[in-house]
Structure 1
Amino acid sequence: MTIQPTFPAPTDAQAPAEPVARVTPMMEQYLEIKAANPGLLLFYRMGDFYELFFDDAEIASRALGIMLTKRGKHQGADIPMCGVPVERSDDYLHRLIAQGFRVAVCEQMEDPAAARARGNKSVVRRDVVRLVTPGTLTEDTLLDARTNNYLLAIARMRGSSGADRLGLAWIDISTSEFIVTECAVSELAATLARINPNEIIVTDALYGDTDVGPTLREWPAVTPLTRDVFDSSTAGRRLCDYFAVATMDGLSAMSRLEATAAAAAVTYIDRTQVGKRPPLSPPAREATGTTMAIDPATRANLELTRTLGGERRGSLLDAIDCTVTSAGSRLLAQRLAAPLTDAGAIARRLDAIAAFVADSGLRDDLRSTLNAAPDLSRALARLSVGRGGPRDLASLRDAILAADQVLAHLARMDEPTQEIAASMAALRRPSRELAREFERALAEQLPLLKRDGGFVREGYEPALDESRNLRDASRLVVASMQARYADDAGVKGLKIRHNNVLGYFVEVTAQHGDKLMSPPLNATFIHRQTLAGQVRFTTSELGEIEAKIANAGDRALGLELEIFEKLCAIAVAASEDLRAAALAFAVLDVATALAKRAVDDNYVRPDVDGSLSFAIEGGRHPVVEQALKRDGQPFIANACDLSPAPQQPSGQIWLLTGPNMAGKSTFLRQNALIALLAQAGSFVPASRARIGIVDRLFSRVGAADDLARGRSTFMVEMVETAVILNQASERSLVILDEIGRGTATFDGLSIAWAAIEHLHEANRCRALFATHYHELTALSAKLPRLFNATVRVKEWQGNVVFLHEVLPGSADRSYGIQVAKLAGLPPSVIARAKSVLAKLEAQDRGQTARALADDLPLFAVPSRAAAEPAPPSESEKLMEAVRALHPDEMSPREALEALYALKAKLRNT
């Protein structure tokens, strides 16, 4: 759902068409606030409820499934109304945000008694304190603890050459992360899939753009804004103002386009938080090409963080996630979404994992301590925007104490790795005095909400203790004062009483009245009232106590809230050091979690370098292996070597044949996932792995349509294949499964044939190509980097047994009829299929394919690595000379002479 910036023009039920005098004061206030916040549902605070009126009420009642009622009339029509309790408002907000709505939260800014004091018709002062949007959430109840919640701003600039560039800035205000980068328009879809923002803000023009708009409209929450938010001329000033720096030099180096997007993001945050600025980390610039490029189709096919059904369970992330903290789980998801292309940075991550693999005792101790550590970054974010509670302060305290325990564990290491040493330095940064202050201030048992009070420890603030004593032990205070007054006056029958007219007063019998009105007691006791049998007095002290008792509860809560704000200010002042510690916790959690996964599932450290190697021994699919293990079945490991063969400058292409259900798709996916895990900085499910850096990962596996955009299954397949053939480079890894199967046999065979040639000669990438077109195996005789492999099967008594072993060679058939028999097709259909197959095979399609391979000119696409083409006449001569050779009929000497002759011709071309 796209979030529109404004509602349509107000209807008669929304805005008064007649003079304001026809509207009640409360409704007048509502309409005024509503008009100031177009495009949002207005949560209008009335006592213990947030009420919604007019169209907002009708929308919310449908979205939330709550009763729609009415409240009064407006211009002769009933006013629709619905409401949600304040105490449960987070639940309703979560449901509205999940459906793509934005909400303006309007609070009462004064006590209703203060409004009544101004007059009977006075309305409680209200104002919007926050705009709740999908990308600006901070509450735990509204967020997934294991997932980042990003707001993404996109700015565009057309270069002098006419080429468009996009500036991107994404922020998670719940963790303070702030990152900027640039990308081309053609890279936007892949970049969005990697960042996975919860809300995107763009200009109206960009949202309607023919190139970018279709990609944006695929995302559930896009907010078009006016151009001023993306004004590049004021971007620097807005960023400096937000971060309180004098010049942009105080921030990370950014291009003008990146700064424009960054300024738009902070401006939007400033507006939605209504002036409460969450402390953000300075923008970190992500250089182009530092992460593996993975397009949306590949992410979906490989099920990196979600399955095709949208579930976390069954994804790669779910399979390897052993983290014990929410921050660690978020960081692991980030690393899987953006594998690195810097071998040195990858090695630093792997070094940390290796250290924890080698020391199981240290690993277990760290995980135990981290498991008890709170989510520091999100607690700090809530406190900074005024949505935190006492338990968030306790989280900061506990995190600092946990940092000391973690440092004590890590001190046992002789030589910490670079990543571990950096984490140790970050954990030392927060002030221990801050933790001690919080220990002194916070009680043992803490309420969820600060408004409930009772969270400040007794003895921390004397004035608070006094107010609490008056509130909680007022009878004891009065009794103590009564005993003292009776002793001072020498009147044992003196009583302190209370009524609603006089409040607290001293009462004695008539016979003692004169005594209290005479010196020196009259200096203390002030006569108030004489009755038939009693005389009543007051004292200055009693008046003060009465006032204190009457206000003790409010004063106690007020003092606690003052203490809370003071502690929050201390925490926010230390936010930079606390954020560094939070990241260190996450880094250590990921390293120890991946070490545990490596030990538990027998993963090995990959060798990642700058070569074009791709050699995996004993490779396994991490998700499938776990599923089989749960069922008590083994996973059959397989090797894969796409490294350049001797005398070849580029990697190999494996053409994989074999029947359905034999495991071809699993084999393709597992090798892609191993490469991705390795570059994410993880050990991998294999017995040995050497991987040259992969710059782009492409996957075309599985079949699905896209009817919403008018695309058939075959069209989707061709679109995804086109992306691969147009973008894959020599460093890329490509996995393709059953290209061409969605159309007629010979059409599909032709497309698959041409695609293999293009991959071999133009892309020159490392690739795995699974197919049922056995005719394609003939290409291995002509394409030197094409290697035939097959999945081993065995026939037994008319049935096929899948052995799941990948071996050199090619399959001569697909065993489709045997698979159909296993699926339960009727025997008559199976028998007829066998008869038809026998007739078709009699035509010897294999011979036809071999002839085609000999007759068709190969290498029809220009090689990216080839030199300038020779003049056509000489090239024709050389090709004719090659065709004239018959190697099977030549002696060794004749073959050698022919080879020298060809070399001589080649020198002349």
Structure 2
Amino acid sequence: MSSTKGTTTPMMAQYLEIKAEHPDALLFYRMGDFYEMFFDDAIAAAEALDIALTKRGKHDDQDIPMCGVPHHAAEGYFLTLIRKGFRVAVCEQMESPAEAKKRGYKAVVKREVVRLVTPGTLTEDSLLDARRHNFLAAFHVVRNEGALAWVDISTGAFHVMPCSGAQLGPELARLTPREVIVVDGNEADWAETVSDSGATLTTLGAAAFDSTSGEKRLCKLYKVGSLDAFGSFKRAEIAVMSAVAEYLEITQRGNLPLLRAPVQEGQSAAMQIDAATRRSLELTRAMNGGKQGSLLHCIDRTATAGGARLLERRLASPSCNVNVIMDRQDAIAFLTDNTRLGEDLRDALRGVHDLDRALSRLALDRGGPRDMAAIRNTIGQAGALWAHLPEGLPDTLKTSAQDLTGHEALFDLLDQALIAEPPLLSRDGGFIAPDYDAELDEARKLRDEGRSVIAGMQAEYIETSGVSSLKIKHNNVLGYFIETTATHADRMMAPPLNETFIHRQTTANQVRFTTVALSEIETRILNAGGRALEIEKRLYSSLTDAILAEAGPLGALARALSEIDLTAALAHLAVTENWTRPKVDDSRAFDITGGRHPVVEAALQKEGAPFIANDCGLTDTPIWLLTGPNMAGKSTFLRQNALLAILAQMGSFVPSTSAHIGIVSQLFSRVGASDDLARGRSTFMVEMVETAAILNQADDRALVILDEIGRGTATYDGLSIAWATLEHLHDVNRCRALFATHYHEMSALSAKLDGVDNATVAVKEWEGDVIFLHEVKRGTADRSYGVQVARLAGLPPVVVERAKVVLEALEKGEREGGGSRKAIIDDLPLFAATPAPVPVTAAPSEVEEALKAVFPDDLTPKEALALIYELKNKL
């Protein structure tokens, strides 16, 4: 950007000065009803927003590029820019042009940046997904100890945990933050990890991560003398929490959000799931990046935004604490046994608003009367919810029920102060209820009923003066005045009336007067609208203070509502989808009877097709070697058992007839194929990297699901890798595992390794076709049926027939020991020299033969019906 020189106008000089303080952000510079951008900002914004690029004036003899957006529609533009990787500095007018002119005719209106809009600091409903968190995270390493802190300023949730550099990727995959802060100068170390999580990388100076000054900053933030009340934090944890607080002060310009007390999380509290496994299992996002098709989308029956966010947190972080899991299951079981109560709770919860986000907006001064009404209505609905709850609740519901009441004083205040349906913004006015404030009522009466007030005064003055023709009129010069004919003027100017009526003007036929009361009422009428708005703003401020004073109890209420909502939702899911309560303990058991994949089952239900349930028992033999053709359902079986473990440990019931699952500490999935061209990795290389991570990290409480290890290389290379991998899982990791493969030679391992058993997915051949039964049973597959699957996929018949010839030759050569594969292949007739095979046609079926003898026009209705039954029997 050009520097300021002699031709710079005062306004442009101000712009350039403010822009210099925010070089890495687009400066939204307020000009009346618009935000305007200039120079390079204008060029970038016009392209990103697809708006017109124009020009305004000159700078150093060059046209100044300019574009702008209406200030009332700015939020939509913010969202577009944030999604495209920009940051936005919002520069507002801090005074009116009239106030600026008091300092001098050419004085420039004062402007300041009041907020930096970044991906991790959004609070507006229009910019956020109500059912998902929007986390801002910070990571730092102090003396070889790392820590990760994360906050959602739209709800106030603040968490911190120890986290090494190696753990950062899996934790970011769990949290999916929008923005991650690291120390300036270290961004190269973490750029790839942060990018993989989909977050934006932001840097802060090292001073922001100083733990000593950071502790003082946090104590000041929470108004405490020590952080010990919140937990025993290590230096790295204090450093990252301090960085979060510093960044919020910078972006919010000192107007800090309502942050909850920091919650310290342990590394072993949740099941560890790495990023590749989360993608493979599609826990919270489908492969296409959206929610549709994910496990979260499939099981979400929550009625509130807070409940939906809690569900996502639980699903992303399944617990490893048996007592916590059992408490959650007890609550769900209580509502599955009392279905009427569960449905009543769900009906009441539909009237609950997003309490956390309403509180956060009010704390940041980005809220409005509608947020206050949401809080009032939610408190009222919580009371109705409490009335539904009986005695003898399980612990989880009992604890939540205790937080539903105790807010009556705030409810009464808001109920008396606010109208039923207030406007969105306080500046619109009209949200304070009648009879709440006498001064406001009077101002509104003058504003809305000025004519009737004047008419009342006119009747009063007629009675006082005895002049029936007296009128109160108004013009732009005199304002309100009393007018009478010259005949009665002498009387009004004589004692005692002259003490009330003050002469103002005499015309040819009329005399005009005023009174002190009329002058006062005129001023009040003219100012009534503005005065009413000022009174409402004052009352809004006092109501905000009253609400924020109850932020702690209201936060507890929000958590209670979310817990009850999630419990009722999971109970509803269990009842409607026939899910059962799993037994979860500290053993190494893994026994599933009649297990089902919830997402696949839901998709089949829409098509009217049944899902084939399957058993899985890894307690006695912790590794199953699964064989069978493609398309038979091996991947579904692998994934469904991993999902059952996740659902069980988040405290939910599971889609099975019965389930006994010992705590799974880690979950690893290597299912599906993909490359990583950006890093120069082939599909096979990605597979090997992910397999290496599993073998290096899995402990004896892990659950590992692996599919087709080694398929991306030569047959013997792949078989060797798969063989050695299975042996390592059995001998070294000693974990529970499902290992799917096409290498049938590996089935011999079950005889050599005590902890390995063979299983296969059953199929049936019928007239050259393969029928998938989707049934998993003990044993091994005799072959892969690849050619049949290729035929089903639509390969040209000539290719399928040629593949059969080659396959038969190779299999015959191996059976008879007829030399090397190369020799066998050399003996095959050349494909190009062989004529295209005649399309194979099956012999006519009995149904077809019967139909040949039928003449439809000759059939009576009765004969036609009999024919249908006959054909169905033949079929």
Calculate the TM-score normalised by the size of structure 1: 0.88
Quickly say closer, same or farther: Cα 1:847–1:264, change in 2 above 3 A.
farther
SS in 2 for 1:307: coil
Counterparts of 1:255-334 in structure 2, within 5 Å, are 255-334=234-313
CA distance in 1, matches of 2:792, 2:666: 38
CA displacement 1:109-161 (0-9 Å, x = unmatched): 22332223443312222222221111111111010001001110112113xxx
Letter in 2 for 1:640: C
1:255 CA drift (Å):
1.4
Aligned: 1:189 with 2:172: no
Q: Give the equivalent residue in structure 2 for 1:701.
A: 671
Specify which of 736, 741, 744 is matched with residue 714 of structure 2.
744
Letter in 2 for 1:216: V
Q: Give the equivalent residue in structure 2 for 1:200.
A: 180
CA distance in 2, matches of 1:498, 1:82: 46
**Is the contact between residue 349 and residue 381 of structure 2 (CA under 8 Å) also seen in structure 1?**
yes
1:252 CA drift (Å):
2.9
Specify which of 377, 392, 401 is matched with residue 415 of structure 1.
392
1:826 CA drift (Å):
2.0
Counterparts of 1:511-526 in structure 2, within 5 Å, are 511-526=487-502
Aligned: 1:31 with 2:16: yes
1:509 CA drift (Å):
2.1
SS in 1 for 2:675: coil
Q: What 5-or-longer segments of structure 2 have no aligned partner?
A: 819-875
SS in 1 for 2:704: strand
CA displacement 1:621-650 (0-9 Å, x = unmatched): 0000000011111100000011135xxxxx
CA displacement 1:396-447 (0-9 Å, x = unmatched): 101111111111111x2x4111100110112124x21101111111112311
CA distance in 2, matches of 1:274, 1:753: 60
**Is the contact between residue 597 and residue 603 of structure 1 (CA under 8 Å) also seen in structure 2?**
yes
1:755 CA drift (Å):
0.5
Q: Give the equivalent residue in structure 1 for 2:401.
A: 424
CA distance in 2, matches of 1:367, 1:139: 27
Q: Give the equivalent residue in structure 1 for 2:837.
A: none
Counterparts of 1:118-197 in structure 2, within 5 Å, are 118-158=103-143, 164-197=144-177
Q: Give the equivalent residue in structure 2 for 1:829.
A: 799
Aligned: 1:673 with 2:658: no
1:847 CA drift (Å):
9.9
**Is the contact between residue 252 and residue 282 of structure 1 (CA under 8 Å) also seen in structure 2?**
no
**Is the contact between residue 764 and residue 773 of structure 2 (CA under 8 Å) also seen in structure 1?**
yes
Q: Give the equivalent residue in structure 2 for 1:637.
A: 613
SS in 1 for 2:185: helix
Q: Give the equivalent residue in structure 2 for 1:215.
A: 193
CA distance in 1, matches of 2:712, 2:809: 24
Counterparts of 1:235-246 in structure 2, within 5 Å, are 235-246=214-225
Q: Give the equivalent residue in structure 1 for 2:659.
A: 689
Letter in 2 for 1:116: K
Aligned: 1:51 with 2:36: yes
The share of aligned pairs that are identical, in percent, is: 56
Structure 1, 669-678 or 261-270: larger mean CA deviation:
261-270
CA distance in 2, matches of 1:115, 1:515: 50
Letter in 2 for 1:676: I
CA distance in 2, matches of 1:552, 1:846: 105
Q: Give the equivalent residue in structure 1 for 2:854.
A: none
Calculate the TM-score normalised by the size of structure 2: 0.92
Aligned: 1:339 with 2:318: yes
**Is the contact between residue 207 and residue 216 of structure 1 (CA under 8 Å) also seen in structure 2?**
no
Quickly say closer, same or farther: Cα 1:539–1:845, change in 2 above 3 A.
farther
Q: Give the equivalent residue in structure 2 for 1:382.
A: 361
1:463 CA drift (Å):
0.8
CA displacement 1:14-54 (0-9 Å, x = unmatched): x31x24xx322222222222222231111112221111111
**Is the contact between residue 700 and residue 736 of structure 1 (CA under 8 Å) also seen in structure 2?**
yes
CA distance in 1, matches of 2:440, 2:237: 50
Specify which of 613, 626, 645 is matched with residue 602 of structure 2.
626
CA distance in 2, matches of 1:845, 1:252: 69
Q: Give the equivalent residue in structure 1 for 2:689.
A: 719
Specify which of 519, 529, 545 is matched with residue 505 of structure 2.
529
1:354 CA drift (Å):
0.5
**Is the contact between residue 612 and residue 644 of structure 1 (CA under 8 Å) also seen in structure 2?**
no
Specify which of 373, 377, 385 is matched with residue 406 of structure 1.
385
SS in 2 for 1:497: strand
Q: Give the equivalent residue in structure 1 for 2:327.
A: 348
SS in 1 for 2:705: strand
Letter in 1 for 2:435: G
Q: Give the equivalent residue in structure 1 for 2:539.
A: 563
1:251 CA drift (Å):
2.9
SS in 1 for 2:121: coil
Q: Give the equivalent residue in structure 2 for 1:40.
A: 25
Letter in 1 for 2:57: G
Counterparts of 1:494-643 in structure 2, within 5 Å, are 494-643=470-619
SS in 2 for 1:471: helix
**Is the contact between residue 673 and residue 687 of structure 2 (CA under 8 Å) also seen in structure 1?**
yes
Aligned length: 817
1:55 CA drift (Å):
1.3
CA displacement 1:340-364 (0-9 Å, x = unmatched): 0011111111111111111010000
CA distance in 2, matches of 1:555, 1:205: 54
CA distance in 2, matches of 1:32, 1:728: 56
1:217 CA drift (Å):
3.6
CA distance in 1, matches of 2:616, 2:594: 8
**Is the contact between residue 489 and residue 521 of structure 1 (CA under 8 Å) also seen in structure 2?**
yes
Letter in 2 for 1:686: S
**Is the contact between residue 100 and residue 220 of structure 1 (CA under 8 Å) also seen in structure 2?**
no
Structure 1, 569-578 or 55-64: larger mean CA deviation:
55-64
CA displacement 1:439-481 (0-9 Å, x = unmatched): 1111123111111111111111111111111111111111211
CA distance in 2, matches of 1:618, 1:493: 96
CA distance in 2, matches of 1:491, 1:103: 67
1:845 CA drift (Å):
7.2
CA distance in 1, matches of 2:684, 2:323: 41
CA distance in 2, matches of 1:227, 1:312: 37
CA distance in 1, matches of 2:587, 2:666: 15
Aligned: 1:840 with 2:810: yes
Q: Give the equivalent residue in structure 1 for 2:867.
A: none
CA distance in 1, matches of 2:816, 2:420: 80
SS in 1 for 2:559: helix
Structure 1, 59-68 or 498-507: larger mean CA deviation:
498-507
Q: Give the equivalent residue in structure 2 for 1:905.
A: none
CA distance in 2, matches of 1:233, 1:217: 30
Letter in 2 for 1:588: I
CA displacement 1:483-534 (0-9 Å, x = unmatched): 2122212222222222222222222222332322222222222222222222
SS in 1 for 2:261: coil
1:190 CA drift (Å):
0.3
CA distance in 2, matches of 1:465, 1:123: 38
CA displacement 1:812-869 (0-9 Å, x = unmatched): 2100011111112222222221121122212447999xxxxxxxxxxxxxxxxxxxxx
CA distance in 2, matches of 1:499, 1:95: 51
CA displacement 1:54-81 (0-9 Å, x = unmatched): 1111111111111111111111111111
Specify which of 720, 732, 736 is matched with residue 702 of structure 2.
732
CA distance in 1, matches of 2:451, 2:388: 53
Quickly say closer, same or farther: Cα 1:716–1:427, change in 2 above 3 A.
same
CA distance in 2, matches of 1:623, 1:641: 22
**Is the contact between residue 497 and residue 507 of structure 1 (CA under 8 Å) also seen in structure 2?**
yes
CA distance in 2, matches of 1:445, 1:774: 69
Q: Give the equivalent residue in structure 1 for 2:753.
A: 783
